[in-house]
Amino acid sequence: MKNPFDAQEGSRDLQEFRDRSASEMGYYGWTVAEHQDVSGEPLSKFDENTRVVVFMGKTGAGKTSTINSLFGLSWPTDNAVACTGSPMMAVVQTGHRRVLVVDMPGIAESVDADAKYAAYYRYYFPRANHIVWVLQADTRSYAADQQSMCSLVNCLRENASLTFAVNRIDQIGAGDWDVDTNSPSPWQAAAMAEKQSQVNDLFEWITDGKISTAIACVSASTRYGIEILRDLVIAPGGDG
Amino acid sequence: MLGLEDFGVSLSVLIDGKEPMNMWFDWKTSMLEKISKVVGEDGARDLEILMQREAAIPPKVAVVGQAGVGKTTTINNLFNVSWKTSHVFAGTTCEQRENFQFAGGGELTVVDMPGLGEDLRRDPEYLKIYQDVLPGCDVILWIIQADLRTLAEDQRMWMSLTSGRMVGRQQRIVIGVNQVDKIGPGEWDTRLNFPSPEQENSIKRRCKDIGTKLSDVGIRPKHVAYYSAYRRYGLYDLLSSIVGAAGVAGWKFQISPADPFDMADPDIMEYAKSMRQRGRKCAHGE
């Protein structure tokens, strides 16, 4: 008979529950080691071997939502008005892998915001090992991303890599995503392939020869493709 | 050439029989009587010809905005046509225009513009089309997407188009915030074809944010019309904003864009129809 007031049993149960729900949720083993806001020069606090992953993209594309899905965080998001006003950072780790996640404020919020945020981009890009550029799947408007990419691609460090996370993939076309199996409808599956080739066409001329890129279709809200994206974000086969 | 607004004309228009209508020819007759006393009958006749020529030219509405906001879909659903659209891949690539007649009189020329912001390499070409077409238009219908949070590209579009040529055109801008059915959180009420309370909140905040950012680049629209072209919601409001902005005299027409209730539950449609019939009977004193 389980004693609900036994501290040891209680904490064991709680840990079991956490492990079970974490494995169900898909981010088993990740814990948030530290969570701090930017102040001064915090990057110098982290040792050279910490893998820095910067999340970039248009306001509303889903950078924060994707981070929340990937690592089980609950950073604030908003549907109507821009939310992340300054870079948010967290160190997440599993076992011996340690990643510094940096969430940037979005581009194209307004002319004033772009000017204000430019300093942040210029500070973090040279220090990033990996960029996750979040694009919105259900739109045709990518020129602002192209513009931003053009101006930042040259200040990346050597051996940096980039993943395009095409988010809200469940919303493309008529939005008839199969909610039960968490998979695209036949039309959406074909459109996904087209979308990847569209993204390649739009950005290849900018990134070619400068940075290795990959494209992943995801949905932060349904968690489709989140596992695959996480594997891309962590250095393949490396120590992170 | 004299414009009719030089005579201080502002006429309200008939919208589905709900508003009082100022009669074009009553006004014209009384005005011309007064003018002939000043410039003589010949002068007044010349003026009449001038006005008729002006009134015969239908006002031109340019539909502008970023790629994918729904310019072509809006035109299709406002005027019941079927121009080619695409949600995910390339849409309108060149300017296309058409004249639309309203049942009961009146005409409108609508110019559908290609969407900006699709590809950095194509934008300069599209921007040139904008610079060529826009100065010749009477109304600019500027469509912004409700469920996105960006506005910098729209601001930049305006900044690169204005540079002096569009000065004084402020009153001719109609802001249409489209795709409100897709804004989160919450789901669109498909039974009543109406936003959920959470969506209403998001819509209000988005419209307010848009208003603030537009005024940062010098635009203060009188009215921000929010709607969903796809769901046929808010189309009356949008069309009356366009007509109001056109400000051309001599119009007398009944607007009948696609009925919003067509998309709602059949029972609701029946109910709405019976309410309207009852309303008409009351209006006729039955």
Q: What is the pLDDT of residue B86?
A: 67
Cross-chain Cβ contact B209/A136 below 8 Å: no
The answer to whether the CB of B159 falls within 8 A of the CB of B165 is no
Helices (H), A111-171: 111-124, 143-152
| Region of residue A159 (phi > 0: left; psi between -120 and 50: alpha; otherwise: beta) | left
Chain A interface mutation, best of B120, B200, B215, highest count of A Cβ atoms under 10 Å: B120
Cross-chain Cβ contact A58/B209 below 8 Å: no
The nearest CA of chain B is from the CA of A81 a distance in Å of: 6
Q: Does B184 contact A at CB distance below 8 Å?
A: yes
The nearest CA of chain B is from the CA of A97 a distance in Å of: 35
Q: Does B181 contact A at CB distance below 8 Å?
A: no
A49-81: per-residue pLDDT in tens? Answer: 788 999 999 999 999 999 999 988 888 888 888
Cross-chain Cβ contact A59/B147 below 8 Å: no
More confident site: A32 or B267: B267
Tokens of A176: 């008839």
Residue in chain A closest to B205 (alpha carbons) equals A80
Chain B window 107-136: which residues touch A at a Cβ cutoff of 8 Å? 115-120, 123
Residue A35 has pLDDT above 50, yes or no: no
Name the pLDDT band for A151 (thresholds 50, 70, 90).
very high
3-state secondary structure of A151: helix
> B89 to chain A: which residues are within 8 Å by CB?
140, 194, 198
Which residue among B66, B149, B203 sits closest to A141, beta carbon to beta carbon? B66
Q: What is the pLDDT of residue A98?
A: 78
Cross-chain Cβ contact B149/A198 below 8 Å: no
Q: Does A129 contact B at CB distance below 8 Å?
A: no
Q: What is the pLDDT of residue B7?
A: 43
Q: Does A115 contact B at CB distance below 8 Å?
A: no
The nearest CA of chain B is from the CA of A204 a distance in Å of: 12
Chain A interface mutation, best of B86, B143, B148, highest count of A Cβ atoms under 10 Å: B148
Residue A32 has pLDDT above 60, yes or no: no
3-state secondary structure chain B: CCCHHHHCCCCCCCCCCCCCCCCHHHHHHHHHHHHHHHHHHHHHHHHHHHHHHHHHCCCEEEEEEECCCCHHHHHHHHHCCCCCCCCCCCCCCCCEEEEEECCCCCEEEEEECCCECCCCCCHHHHHHHHHHHHHHCCEEEEEEECCCCCCHHHHHHHHHHHCCCCCCCHHHEEEEEECHHHCCCCCCECCCCECCHHHHHHHHHHHHHHHHHHHHCCCCCCCEEECECCCCECHHHHHHHHHHHHCCCCCCCCCCCCCHHHHCCHHHHHHHHHHHHHHHHHHCCC
Q: Does A197 contact B at CB distance below 8 Å?
A: no
Burial status of residue A48 (CB atoms within 10 A of its CB: 0-12, 13-18, 19 or more): exposed
DSSP symbol at A72: -
Q: Does B151 contact A at CB distance below 8 Å?
A: yes
Which whole number is the average pLDDT over A218-236? Answer: 86
Q: Does B206 contact A at CB distance below 8 Å?
A: yes
3-state secondary structure of A5: coil
Distance CA B173, CA B136 (A): 14
User: How does the average pLDDT of chain A come out, rounded?
Assistant: 81
> A187 to chain B: which residues are within 8 Å by CB?
none
Cross-chain Cβ contact B149/A82 below 8 Å: yes
Q: What is the pLDDT of residue B233?
A: 92
3-state secondary structure of A178: strand
The pTM of the whole model exceeds 0.80: no
A169-185: per-residue pLDDT in tens? Answer: 998 887 789 989 999 99
Chain B interface mutation, best of A141, A201, A222, highest count of B Cβ atoms under 10 Å: A141
Q: pLDDT (tens digit, 0 to 9) for every residue of chain B, 286 residues total?
A: 344 444 444 333 433 343 333 445 566 677 777 777 877 888 878 877 877 776 667 778 889 999 889 898 999 898 887 887 765 566 677 778 888 776 545 677 888 888 888 888 888 888 888 888 888 788 889 999 998 889 999 998 888 877 645 545 555 788 999 999 989 888 899 888 899 999 999 999 999 999 999 988 888 877 789 999 989 999 988 988 887 777 643 243 334 445 554 555 666 667 666 766 666 665 554 4
Cross-chain Cβ contact A111/B159 below 8 Å: yes
Q: Does B213 contact A at CB distance below 8 Å?
A: yes
> B210 to chain A: which residues are within 8 Å by CB?
none
* Of the candidate ranges A11-20, A116-125, B193-202, the one whose mean pLDDT is the lowest: A11-20
Q: What is the pLDDT of residue A164?
A: 96
Distance CA A4, CA B116 (A): 62
The answer to whether the CB of B203 falls within 8 A of the CB of B176 is no
DSSP symbol at A67: H
Q: What is the pLDDT of residue B88?
A: 58
- Considering only CA atoms, which of B224, B204, B256, B79 is closest in space to residue B143? B224
More confident site: B275 or A91: A91
Other residues' Cβ atoms within 10 Å of the Cβ of residue A129? 21
| Strand arrangement of the beta sheet that strand B96-101 belongs to | B96-101, B107-112, B60-65, B139-145, B173-178, B224-226
Cross-chain Cβ contact B217/A111 below 8 Å: yes
Residue in chain A closest to B66 (alpha carbons) equals A141
Cross-chain Cβ contact A143/B119 below 8 Å: yes
Residue A206 has pLDDT above 80, yes or no: yes
The nearest CA of chain A is from the CA of B282 a distance in Å of: 42
Cross-chain Cβ contact B153/A108 below 8 Å: yes
Chain A interface mutation, best of B93, B127, B145, B149, highest count of A Cβ atoms under 10 Å: B149
The nearest CA of chain B is from the CA of A214 a distance in Å of: 20
